[in-house]
Structure 1
Amino acid sequence: MFKTTVVGNYPKITEDKTAVNLRRARNRFDQKKISAEKLEQAYQETIKRVIKEQEEAGVDLITDGQIRWDDLVTPFARNIQGMEIGGLLRFFDNNVYYRRPIIKSKLSFRNYSVVEEFKFAQANSKKEIKPVMVGAFTFACLSLDEFYQDEEKLTLDLAEILHKEAEKLSQEGAKIIQIDEPSLCFYPEKLKLAKESLNIITQGINAKFALYLYFGSIKKLVPYLFDLPIDIIGVDVVSKKENLDLLLEYDGKKEIGLGCVDARNTMMEKQSDLIALFKKTAKRIPADKIWVNPSCGLEFLPHAEAQKKLKNMVEVVHSFNG
């Protein structure tokens, strides 16, 4: 049977006037109109709402929506010694931005980045929570290196730090840990370095690891992709249609995250189209090895559309499973 999950982030702001408005709370905090305690309460209420919405949609494996995150790298960059938070840069081909980390000296672990978030989410969820981490390769690609001047050394030092995070997440009960590596699609010639970094991150940890690639093609990564030291490969089959056929060269060993719901377009998927895609996929990949999920994080969508897309996705999977 197919299972369902999400890729990471979720819209922070809802049209529901009765819900906490996190943007307003953050603005009021910046203006010193509310306390840090009140802002924390707003975060917690928003996370609980996001968890509840995913549960009610029927998603099998959920996240906390990355509600405290401003982008993919900042939550980790602020907890690494030797790294500063720089100015805004465009995040891939999207109309959103991230703060570019700047490497000032040799990097070392300062503090855990998402462990407390995971613990809070799991304590407030009826379903399993999947924590998400940035991958070392993408982290290095999105950073400005003013110290190492050596991509390999930078990437592997980041991997050592991220290993500590993953290890602690596992100790706190995480059964599946997601690692985001969107940059790998755009630098396939660096796959060997990415593999080495993944070896370091995952080494000796008692959890499954899901590697998620989005926004780009996996054409130059297959078949080597299936040799990476991870358990689940999540691929965006919306941005690059060719990715689906490339996945069907799959060797049967790893689980697949099928990113078939467009998380960057409000147009609703036709259930008949999804069913046809599921049938095509199930002919080549065992159903119990397939996770159905959006093409990337849902925060690119308005809240109402994200909700509708999740519900539609789960409904089609349940119909297909029978």
Structure 2
Amino acid sequence: MQISKSIAGSYPKNPKLAKAQAWYSAGKIGKEKYEKYLKTYTMKVFSLAKEINASYTTDGLLRWDDIVDVTFSFVKGATKGPLIRFYDNNFYYRRPIITSKLTKDDNSLIEAMGFSRDVMKEAGVSSKLKGVFLGPLSYYRLSEVKHYKNPEELMMDYSQVLSETIDDLKGTLDTIEIHEPSMFEKRIKNELITKLPEIYSPISSTKIEKHVITYFEMSHLERLENFFSIKADFHGIDLSENLTKVAKIYPRLKGVRLIAGVLNTRTTKLEKVSSINKVLSNISEHGAKEVVLSNSSLMDFIPEMIAVKKIKLLNKVGGDKN
């Protein structure tokens, strides 16, 4: 079984960068000075990826407040609403308020990802650069909808906008990482889950490597079949938040190209390498085709120092094993 490593989602934002962003937004510093700060801290993410020999890495989403904030850089038709709690975390995001048909407006995102690609080249990192996007289901779940009459129409339009954006980013990004934390939520109706392969069809048809990941507690394990039916190159599962359910998860992994979320980024407690190795052994025994070891979810919830220590643990487990 082939094993590799990845840095997924967001990276903790250094307070100095947050201050520089506030200065830039207030017009107290110019774009050039702000991007010097941004380059410094983005370089740290890429250096960490280089240190663990990661096959994939994001840019840490340091330019944005959170994964929902990224959507405002390529989606037109939504405005920023009030701060809302992000699921059951002590973390808040600006809720998109959807007031008209969703269309593409990705100029700022294209510029941002071009900047990250340039910094990555300068850092001499061989990892594949991932663009991080919220999936259609979770975008619907985290938004206030004023325009659409049914969620399927909203999600199809969002999927189309995202597919067009992905096409625009060809040559800049190597991989797309799509987050669906709502996939296993109790409040999401099963009829929406069953429609996801069709809703994802515009995204799935794009000519770029695609990773679809989910995280947090999995309340409906029967939905794993629906999750794996979404056409993508890899599917990611948060194993760290579902340790009591892994005995039921492992048998469903045969033939899956899996992103294994083995680092819990909602707690400061460091994982034991022996425990990660045990998980890895079980995944292999149950016939997973390929495994990418990764942090399980966004890293907005923990201090940077802890995030670095957790990611470096992957140095002690990965590698290619048969």
CA distance in 2, matches of 1:198, 1:285: 26
Q: CA deviation at 1:196?
A: 1.9
- Give 2:222's aligned residue: 220
User: Which range is displaced more, 263-272 or 217-226?
Assistant: 217-226
Is the 2:61–2:67 Cα contact (8 Å) retained in structure 1?
Answer: no
- Give 2:68's aligned residue: 73
Q: CA deviation at 1:140?
A: 1.2
- Give 1:155's aligned residue: 155
Q: Which amino acid aligns with 1:29?
A: Y
* CA pair 51-40 structure 1, distance change in 2 beyond 3 A: same
Q: CA deviation at 1:253?
A: 3.8
CA distance in 1, matches of 2:68, 2:108: 10
- Give 1:207's aligned residue: 208
Aligned partner (choices 265, 276, 279) of residue 267 of structure 2:
265
1:146 matched to 2:141? The reply is no
> C-alpha root-mean-square deviation of aligned residues, in Å?
2.1
Identity of aligned residues (%): 26
- Give 1:184's aligned residue: 183
- Give 1:18's aligned residue: none
Return 5+ residue gaps in structure 1 as ranges. Answer: 15-20
Q: CA deviation at 1:78?
A: 4.7
CA distance in 2, matches of 1:250, 1:41: 46
* CA pair 78-5 structure 1, distance change in 2 beyond 3 A: closer
Q: What's the secondary structure of 1:66's corresponding residue? A: coil
- Give 1:61's aligned residue: 56
Is the 2:24–2:30 Cα contact (8 Å) retained in structure 1?
Answer: yes
CA distance in 1, matches of 2:243, 2:253: 20
- Give 2:137's aligned residue: 137
- Give 1:102's aligned residue: 97
Q: Which amino acid aligns with 1:160?
A: Q
1:40 matched to 2:41? The reply is no
Q: Which amino acid aligns with 2:12?
A: P
Q: What's the secondary structure of 2:212's corresponding residue? A: strand
Is the 1:78–1:84 Cα contact (8 Å) retained in structure 2?
Answer: no
CA distance in 2, matches of 1:280, 1:42: 43
Q: CA deviation at 1:68?
A: 0.8
- Give 1:28's aligned residue: 23
CA distance in 2, matches of 1:270, 1:195: 36
Provide Cα deviations, 1:67-107, integer angstroms capped at 9, x if missing partner: 11212222223543321111110001110111011111122
- Tell me the TM-score normalized by structure 1: 0.89
Q: When the two structures are aligned, how many residues end up with a matched partner?
A: 312
Is the 1:234–1:258 Cα contact (8 Å) retained in structure 2?
Answer: yes
Q: Which amino acid aligns with 1:219?
A: L
Q: CA deviation at 1:113?
A: 5.5
